[in-house]
């Protein structure tokens, strides 16, 4: 029996090629698009899932409060808390501290030099707590001794080739020797802590003369990632509360004097990737909202595909009335018929799955380079996701087959054989609802796409208050010694002597970066009880304002007096410190709390976008401090038509002064625009999936119209003979669909207005929502519907009517 | 074999009952070859559908092999007719997407025959109707007469006791029609199949042992 159904299914598939093709196209586009999204979601959900004991590993993090208000919310903690809490709370089995803020510069051997990134100081228990695979060395002792370094497999290969790296020496910033005590398997991409090099934490403690364990470090050295392995069944809220007690005991008096507070909280390691968005994250984490949003899109696209399937199956089932009638006459029960049509539905879904997987394999590289959405191989191995996906597909095939098989199996054999009810069977009103749903989804997706893309270009168009064009950023050399100062000056001067260089400056950070140095400032130094305000600091030399075209609204550049104690503040900082006018602030002394240093305000500049217009203006304090320990980047403003030779010129100067130090540069505007990357990607994904959804809906509509027209061929011919124009006939078919478009729009527009307003809330600069963003998609849909109907109507009406009438 | 008592079938249009069958009392014995005649709209096909249990009726009693059909549930009825009744249609109603062999096999799929049995039965039937060479062709590749031959083979495959034919020769030319009628006669006489046919043609009706004339849903006496 199954064989019989199978053969019949295949013959029908080939007999009605156009309808089969449309059906399969709709389903495989839907399945393929949603599979891509599912894999992406699976990838996002798999973060840190491979760790053993993951349910007992928590990250400790810290919030700072000023006067009871949250001032800083960080992914990091200070150094001493780890040891103190382990001593105080028996629930803590082990702690791991990691730090990358103090691990800067290069590590090198004779044959390979690596500028440190993805590298951490890590404490002894690291491999006891985290189940990363150690290929060489001892899990318990690899990070115990001072000056131990543990490398990833591929890093070891770069340094030592095929030699055994164990016991070999790697130099840190040309001076400190580190001994290789272990090699670990390369870390999988689905972890929030991607590391290639670990150096024993004991090394950090020694290098910084145990500063990280002092009382001062309790307050201000918030650079350490702290992970705790807790005893199973630990009461988390209770432990968090206990941390408050510990903080009071240790530094309560310090905090009280400044009216500050520190709040520690715990987060399960598995939750970090999608739920953690604090200052100083190890990497920019994923976004739960995006994951949820993509999940919704995935399901919507699948639904559109199945809706098409249902519509087409019912419409084309007319072709099979005779077969159904015959089967009923020969004793098939309704159950048997339902069973047959369900098998067909599952078959066609299976074909679509196979096609979509092949297509995904083929287009994946293109897709991933366009959208920036990467799916790594671990996601493909995530069996949970595959089960969920296949479950959804099977359920979907099942449900999408129920309605058509119900309709078909409930036919009356006598009427079918007499040829009655051909046009009315199948509940056109139900099909109308389905088509209306597709229209509403399509309009919604187009509205979303337009607003996302418009918002991105709106942000790019906005004046950031700063000039970032034609600027090249060069990283300073890694090794700093006594000759540095002289070399630095001559490098700057040599650059300025080049004809195409307009300006050179040296600063800690450049525009487009998150300012990672913040301190509290107190307005009136005569009254120490005044509240302190958090300011974002950048350390610059006196050419910074000129080079970046920052507008002074009061005072001067760093020209006169004690430059190193003079500061320039931004308008937002002026407001934060509650000075009434820019002029009022000039000459005032503010106290830098962290350093306990008094600064004089010598200038006020207009606000500018340190980061993209996504972010609010920052209260900025510029300090004059070209010290290489603090500052790291040369900004070089270039005016030339030949960028390539300009870069060669700069590199030549670098070589002549810094010799074989690594020369690294980037164009600032590219880096700045990089901040829009995730928005652009989001927009592109939106665009891509809208196009897929709309094409599925369109071919479905096309097929359905074609079918109705075939059924009503005779009617069209008669009307034409009587004297109807092509227009009249077009209206007969278009009217129903246009009403549906209207209803769909009435539902979709307010819904999307609500959703997109919500989405825009996250942006400091928002595009005003124009009515055209909402009306254009409707016009587009009307146009598409109109074109597909008119092309079919034209084809039918241009035929000789007598031919259509004769066949009856 | 079949007993119809006071059968009524009607549709209600605008409050008025229009009778399709009106107070029919008929008996068909096993081994009979009966022709039903009458003008268009006289209820011939409706009667045949009622006998074939494809269509219901509104009043009256229907006994098939002494079982009361009017009291049966649909499932029982379907069980009964798929076991005892074969149908032949004017428009053949072969499934276009199935080959001759598969068309003939179809009724067996809904009864409990193994694949081997089905094969034997279909081969037998192909042999008997001399269409072995056409078994892999599709209906559209056959002439009308050949299609009807397949239709009859399909109707007979499950060895029914009763063959219902609704204008079996209506779409055929007279020569082909004659051949079909000869076949019916042979089936009736040699295999003892009871046949009830609806026909317009006096000549074809003569093949039957009894003729029933219908007019406006009643027997025209």
pLDDT in tens, A43-66: 888 899 889 999 999 999 999 887
Averaged confidence pLDDT in chain A:
85
Inter-chain contact A331–B78, Cβ cutoff 8 Å? yes
Confidence of residue B81 (pLDDT cuts 50, 70, 90): confident
- What angle (nearest 5°) sits at the alpha carbon of residue A188, between those of residues A184 and A189? 140
Q: Is the pLDDT of residue A422 over 70?
A: no
The per-residue pLDDT for A337 is 82
Check whether A808 has a pLDDT greater than 70. Answer: no
Q: List strands edge to edge, sheet with B59-64.
A: B16-28, B2-13, B59-64, B67-68
Task: Give B193→chain A minimum CA distance, Å.
Answer: 18
Backbone angles phi, psi at A652, to 5 degrees: -65, -40
Kindly report the backbone phi and psi dihedral angles of residue B157, in degrees, each rounded to the nearest multiple of 5, phi listed first: -60, -35
Q: Residue A803 above 70 pLDDT?
A: no
Mutate: best of A1, A7, A316, A329, partner B, most B CBs <10 A: A329
pLDDT at site A807: 45
B97:A414 CB<8 A: no
Q: Give the separation between CA B178 and CA B181, rounded to whole angstroms.
A: 5
pLDDT confidence band for A418 (50 / 70 / 90): low
- Average pLDDT value for residue range B90-108: 87
> Of B75, B50, B83, whose CA–CA distance to A334 is shortest?
B75
Contact between B154 and B92 (Cβ < 8 Å): no
Find chain A residues with C-beta within 8 A of B83's C-beta: 331
In this predicted structure, which of A3-12, A470-479, A506-515 has the lowest mean pLDDT? A3-12
Burial of A639 (0-12, 13-18, 19+ CB in 10 A): exposed
Question: In angstroms, what separates the C-alpha of B179 from chain A's closest C-alpha?
Answer: 24
The answer to whether the beta carbons of residues A535 and A623 sit under 8 Å apart is no
Question: Is B97 at the interface with chain A, CB within 8 A?
Answer: yes
Higher pLDDT, B56 or A423: B56
What residues in B contact A332, CB-CB < 8 Å? 109-110
For the question of an ipTM over 0.90, the answer is no
Between CA A146 and CA A155, with CA A150 as vertex, the angle to 5 degrees is 140
Structure confidence by residue, pLDDT tens digits, A9-40 = 888 888 888 888 888 998 999 999 888 888 88
% of chain B exceeding 90 in pLDDT: 35
Indicate yes or no: CB of A329 within 8 angstroms of CB of B105.
no
Q: Say whether pLDDT at A423 is over 60.
A: no
For an interface test with B, the pick among A331, A409, A412, A420 (most B C-beta atoms closer than 10 Å) comes out as A331
Closest residue in B to A414 (Cα) is B54
Q: Do A329 and B54 touch (CB under 8 A)?
A: yes
B140–A contact, CB cutoff 8 A: no
Q: What percent of chain A has pLDDT over 90?
A: 30
The CA distance from A550 to A557, in Å, is: 10
User: Using only C-alpha atoms, what is the Rg of chain A?
Assistant: 34
Is-contact B107 A330, C-beta < 8 A?
yes
Q: pLDDT tens for residues A275-310? A: 998 888 888 888 888 888 888 888 888 888 888 888
| Contacts (Cβ under 8 Å, ≥6 apart) of A465 | A550, A551, A606, A607, A608, A609
State the average pLDDT over residues A319-327.
80
pLDDT band at A145 (very low <50, low <70, confident <90, very high): very high
Task: Please count the other Cβ atoms lying within 10 Å of the Cβ belonging to residue B136.
Answer: 10
Output the pLDDT for position A764: 85
Lowest mean pLDDT among A236-245, A390-399, A739-748: A390-399
Number of H helices, E strands in chain A: 27, 24
Beta bridge partners of residue A504, listed in sequence order:
A636
Q: How far apart are the C-alpha atoms of A506 and A539, rounded to whole Å?
A: 9
Q: How confident is the model at residue A420 (pLDDT cuts 50, 70, 90)?
A: low
Cβ contact B93–A326 (<8 Å):
yes
Domain residue extents for chain A: 54-275, 471-670
Name, in order, each residue with C-beta under 8 angstroms of A96's C-beta and a sequence gap of 6 or more: A122, A123, A125, A126, A129, A130, A226, A227, A228, A229
Average pLDDT over residues A112-138: 93
Would you state the structure tokens that stand for residue A425, as one six-digit string? 């069977």
Q: Which two tokens stand for residue A416?
A: 């079918």
> Which residues does chain B have within 8 Å of residue A413's beta carbon, measured at their own beta carbons?
54
pLDDT at A746: 94
A330–B82: do the CB atoms touch at under 8 Å?
A: yes
- What pLDDT sits at residue A612? 80
pLDDT tens-digit readout, A187-208: 988 899 999 999 999 999 888 7
The token pair at B9 is 């079938």
Q: Indicate whether A779 pLDDT > 80.
A: yes
Q: Give yes or no for a contact between B131 and A355, defined as CB atoms under 8 angstroms apart.
A: no
Measured in angstroms, the CA of A379 and the nearest CA of chain B are apart by: 44
Query: How large is the average pLDDT for residues A633-658?
Result: 90
Residue B216 has pLDDT above 60, yes or no: yes
- A574 or A719, higher pLDDT: A574
Please give the angle made by the CA atoms of A157, A161 and A164, to the nearest 5 degrees: 85
Task: Please give the pLDDT value at position A127.
Answer: 95
Q: What is the pLDDT of residue A122?
A: 96
pLDDT band at A317, cuts 50/70/90? confident
Mean pLDDT value across residues A658-663: 82
The pLDDT of residue A155: 94
CATH (residue range B2-219): 3.40.50.300
Chain A residues touching residue B79 (CB < 8 angstroms): 331
Per-residue pLDDT band for A744 (boundaries 50, 70, 90) equals: very high
pLDDT of residue A97: 95
Instruction: Look at residue A738 and tell me whether its pLDDT is greater than 70.
Output: yes
Of A28, A26, A27, A36, residue with least CA distance to A695: A26
Do A8 and B97 lie within an 8 Å CB cutoff? yes
Q: How confident is the model over A626-643, as a mean pLDDT?
A: 84
Beta bridge partners of residue B61, listed in sequence order: B5
Q: What is chain B's Cα-based Rg? A: 18
Q: Are A605 and A551 in contact (CB under 8 A)?
A: yes
Most trustworthy range by pLDDT among A233-237, A486-490, B79-83: A233-237
- The residue-averaged pLDDT of A383-400 equals 82
For A388, residues 6+ apart whose C-beta sits below 8 A from its C-beta are A38
B33 touches chain A (CB under 8 A): no
Each residue's pLDDT tens digit, A342-386? 888 888 888 998 999 899 888 888 888 888 777 777 667 777 778
Tokens in use for A374?
């990467």
Q: What is the mean pLDDT of residues A319-343?
A: 81
Report the SS3 class of residue A414: helix
In degrees and rounded to multiples of 5, residue A344 shows phi and psi of -60, -40
Output the pLDDT for position A427: 54
- Considering only CB atoms, which chain B residues are within 8 Å of A331? 78-79, 81-83, 107, 110-111
What residue ranges do the domains of chain B occupy? 2-219
> Which residues on A lie below 8 Å from B119 (Cβ)?
none
CA distance, residue B122 to nearest chain A CA (Å): 15
């Amino acid at each position: 029996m199954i064989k019989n159904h199978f053969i019949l299914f295949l013959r029908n598939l080939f007999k009605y090629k156009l309808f089969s093709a449309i059906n399969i196209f709709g389903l495989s586009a839907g399945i393929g698009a949603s599979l891509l999204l599912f894999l992406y979601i699976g990838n996002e959900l798999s973060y840190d899932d491979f760790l053993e004991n993951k349910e007992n590993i928590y990250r400790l993090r810290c919030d700072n409060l000023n006067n009871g208000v949250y001032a800083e919310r960080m992914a990091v903690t200070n150094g001493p808390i780890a040891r103190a809490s382990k001593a105080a709370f028996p629930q803590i089995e082990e702690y791991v501290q990691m730090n990358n803020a103090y691990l800067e510069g290069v590590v090198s051997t004779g044959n390979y030099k690596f500028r440190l990134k993805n590298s951490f100081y890590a404490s002894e228990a690291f491999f006891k707590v985290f189940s990363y695979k150690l290929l060489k060395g001892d899990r318990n002792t690899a990070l115990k001794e001072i000056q131990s370094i543990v490398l990833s497999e591929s890093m070891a290969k770069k340094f030592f080739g095929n030699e055994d790296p164990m016991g070999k020496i790697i130099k840190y910033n040309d001076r400190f020797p580190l001994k290789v005590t272990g090699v670990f398997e390369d870390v999988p991409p689905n972890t929030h802590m991607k590391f290639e090099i670990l150096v024993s934490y004991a090394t950090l403690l020694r290098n910084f003369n145990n500063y990280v364990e002092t009382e001062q470090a309790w307050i201000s050295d918030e650079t350490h990632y702290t992970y705790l392995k807790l005893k199973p069944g630990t009461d988390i809220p209770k432990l968090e509360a206990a941390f408050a007690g510990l903080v009071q005991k240790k530094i309560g008096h310090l905090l009280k004097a400044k009216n500050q507070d520190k709040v520690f909280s715990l987060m399960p390691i598995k939750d970090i990737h999608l739920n953690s968005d604090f200052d100083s994250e190890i990497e920019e984490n994923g976004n739960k909202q995006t994951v949820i949003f993509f999940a919704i899109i995935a399901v919507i696209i699948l639904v559109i595909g199945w809706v098409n399937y249902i519509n087409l199956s019912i419409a084309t089932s007319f072709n099979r009335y005779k077969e159904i009638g015959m089967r009923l006459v020969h004793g098939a029960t309704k159950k048997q018929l339902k069973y047959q049509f369900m098998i067909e539905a599952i078959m066609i879904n299976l074909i679509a799955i196979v096609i979509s997987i092949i297509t995904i394999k083929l287009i994946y590289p293109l897709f991933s380079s366009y959208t920036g959405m990467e799916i790594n191989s671990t996601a493909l191995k995530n069996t949970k996701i595959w089960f969920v996906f296949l479950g959804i597909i099977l359920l979907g095939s099942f449900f999408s087959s129920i309605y058509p098989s119900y309709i078909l199996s409930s036919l009356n054999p006598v009427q079918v054989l007499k040829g009655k009810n051909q046009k009315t069977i199948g509940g056109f009103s139900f099909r109308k609802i389905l088509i209306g749903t597709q229209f509403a989804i399509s309009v919604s997706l187009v509205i979303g796409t337009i607003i996302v893309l418009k918002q991105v270009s709106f942000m790019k168009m906005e004046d950031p208050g700063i000039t970032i064009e034609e600027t090249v950023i060069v990283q300073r050399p890694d090794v700093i010694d006594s000759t540095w100062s002289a070399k630095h000056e001559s490098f700057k001067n040599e650059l300025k002597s080049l004809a195409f260089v307009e300006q050179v400056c040296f600063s800690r950070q450049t525009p487009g970066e998150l300012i990672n140095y913040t301190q509290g400032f107190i307005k009136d130094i005569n009254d120490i009880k005044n509240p302190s305000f958090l300011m974002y600091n950048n350390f610059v030399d006196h050419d910074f304002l000129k080079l970046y075209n920052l507008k002074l609204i009061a005072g001067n550049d760093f020209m006169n007096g004690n430059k190193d104690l003079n500061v320039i503040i931004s308008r937002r900082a002026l407001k934060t410190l509650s000075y009434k006018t820019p002029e009022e602030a000039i000459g005032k002394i503010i106290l830098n709390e962290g350093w306990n240093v008094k600064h004089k305000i010598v200038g006020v500049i207009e606000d500018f976008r340190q980061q993209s217009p996504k972010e609010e203006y920052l209260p900025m304090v510029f300090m004059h401090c070209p010290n290489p320990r603090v500052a790291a980047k040369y900004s070089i403003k270039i005016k030339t038509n030949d960028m390539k030779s300009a870069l060669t010129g700069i590199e030549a100067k670098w070589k002549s002064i810094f010799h074989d130090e690594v020369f690294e540069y980037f164009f600032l505007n590219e880096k700045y625009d990089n901040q829009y990357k995730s928005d652009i990607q989001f927009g592109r994904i939106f665009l891509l999936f809208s196009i897929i959804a709309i094409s599925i809906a369109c071919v479905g509509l096309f097929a359905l119209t074609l079918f109705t027209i075939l059924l009503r061929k005779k009617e069209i011919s008669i009307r034409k003979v009587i004297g109807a124009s092509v227009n009249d006939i077009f209206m007969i078919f278009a009217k129903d669909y246009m009403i549906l478009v209207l209803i769909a729009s009435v539902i979709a527009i307010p819904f999307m207005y609500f959703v997109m307003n919500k989405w825009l809330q996250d942006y400091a600069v928002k595009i005003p929502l124009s009515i055209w963003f909402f009306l254009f998609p409707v016009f587009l849909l009307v146009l598409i519907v109109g074109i597909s109907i008119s092309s079919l109507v034209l084809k039918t009406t241009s035929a000789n009517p007598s031919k259509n009438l004769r066949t009856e | 074999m079949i007993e119809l008592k006071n059968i009524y079938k009607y549709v209600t249009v605008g409050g008025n009952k229009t009778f399709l069958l009106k107070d029919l009392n008929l008996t068909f014995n096993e081994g009979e070859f009966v022709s039903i005649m009458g003008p268009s709209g006289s209820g011939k096909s409706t009667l045949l559908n009622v006998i074939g249990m494809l269509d219901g009726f509104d009043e009256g009693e229907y006994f098939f092999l002494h079982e009361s059909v009017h009291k049966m549930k649909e499932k029982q009825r379907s069980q009964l007719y798929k076991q005892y009744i074969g149908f032949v249609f004017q428009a053949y109603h072969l499934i276009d997407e199935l080959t001759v062999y598969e068309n003939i096999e179809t009724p067996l799929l809904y009864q409990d025959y193994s694949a081997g049995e089905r094969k034997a039965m279909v081969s037998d039937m192909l042999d008997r109707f001399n269409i072995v060479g056409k078994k892999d062709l599709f209906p559209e590749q056959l002439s009308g007469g050949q299609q009807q031959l397949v239709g009859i083979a399909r109707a007979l495959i499950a060895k029914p006791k009763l063959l219902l034919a609704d204008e079996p020769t209506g779409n055929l030319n007279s020569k082909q029609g004659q051949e079909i009628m000869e076949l019916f006669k042979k089936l009736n006489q040699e295999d003892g199949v009871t046949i009830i046919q609806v026909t317009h043609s006096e000549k074809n009706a003569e093949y039957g042992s009894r003729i029933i004339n219908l007019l406006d849903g009643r027997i025209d006496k």
